[in-house]
Homo-oligomer: A and B are copies of this chain.
Amino acid sequence: MDERSLAVIYRTYLDCLNLRDWASLGRFVDDDVCHNGRQIGLSGYRAMLERDVRQIPDLRFELELLVTEPPMIASRLRFVCTPAATFLGLDTRGKQIAFSENVFYAFRGGKIAQVWSVIDKAAIEAQL
């Protein structure tokens, strides 16, 4: 798969998340996906996203940086959102917060097979 095709798949995956189209998640995410070293599988991945959206109803994935070298993608995602109560164990007290996530993906057969994510928790703490 070339750079351009992989980037298109990734952008469509982000659209899928922003549409909460969980039924289509399996088009982008491998059945045996690993997240930060833990094999959570497609169902665990979906559960994680559903939990994120419960905690942050207005969660929107905005792509800030994209670096593509098949079969890998690295992206910096930007979030401006309002957690309902707590997020990452922090009491956000209904405030709107802004933070970034720097995340790597390894693709296999055109689907996300491994994810290594770091969320900028320190940036959130600085806003509370």
Asked whether, in the complex, the Cβ of A104 is within 8 Å of the Cβ of B118, the reply is no
Quickly give the copy total for this chain. 2
Interface range for A: 20 to 34
Asked whether, in the complex, the Cβ of A69 is within 8 Å of the Cβ of B116, the reply is no
Asked whether, in the complex, the Cβ of A3 is within 8 Å of the Cβ of B69, the reply is yes
**A68 in complex: contacting residue of B69, B89, B121, B122, CB < 8 Å:** B69
Q: At the interface, yes or no: A119 with Cβ under 8 Å from chain B?
A: yes
Q: A67-B73, A69-B68, A122-B119 are in contact. Are A104 and B104 (CB under 8 A)?
A: no
Q: At the interface, yes or no: A84 with Cβ under 8 Å from chain B?
A: no
Interface residues of A (CB under 8 A from B): 3, 64-65, 67-69, 72-74, 76, 88-89, 100-104, 116-122
